[in-house]
Amino acid sequence: MKVLVPLAQGFEEIEAVSIIDILRRAEIEVLVASLNENSLVRGANSIVIQTDLHIKEVSAKELDMIVLPGGWDGTYALADDINVQNLLKEMDGKGQNIAAICAAPFALNKAGVLKSKYTCYPSVEDEIKRDGYQGDLSMVVEDENIMTSRGPATAICFALAIVKKLKGQESYEGIKSGVLADFCS
């Protein structure tokens, strides 16, 4: 299993680190990619993350999933980056798994891959301007090959839902128990 987490300046650190950490605990290979030539990317709260590679080096063929963390500045950069947008379109066209949290469903919508049911950080639905917003009905919303979640506080549950989708119930339960995430359903 191989999952891409692209990071752009201004990404939401809690979301990115929770996703990367939980997936790696599940023994899923996570590629962390930068959008620019600098391998160090500064998040919304000035935490700097070292990436593994540049987004141009990634091919949809090698991925099982792409997961976008939120943060408005990072989200706008993901929505404007041709490499990210092309990966999203190509992966969706093949029915591959795509996930986004917080503001990042905005980038999915710009690529034309967001499905009819989704959730996001409150108020981002006003930027997305489409029906189907599920609000806080669920921490994670799945519609076809797309998973979305609400924000920093739902990041662990979101990452665990990705583990369940990619590795199954047993792996999900093991990681969930290990990180004391009994609040995730």
Question: Any idea which residues carry the catalytic annotation?
Answer: 102
Measured distance CA(10)–CA(75) in Å, rounded: 8
One-letter amino acid identity for 79?
A
For every residue of 59-123, which 3-state class applies, written as one string? CHHHCCEEEECCCHHHHHHHHHCHHHHHHHHHHHHCCCEEEEECCCHHHHHHHCCCCCCECCCCC
| Helix, strand, or coil (residue 147) | strand
Measured distance CA(62)–CA(64) in Å, rounded: 7
Measured distance CA(45)–CA(163) in Å, rounded: 27
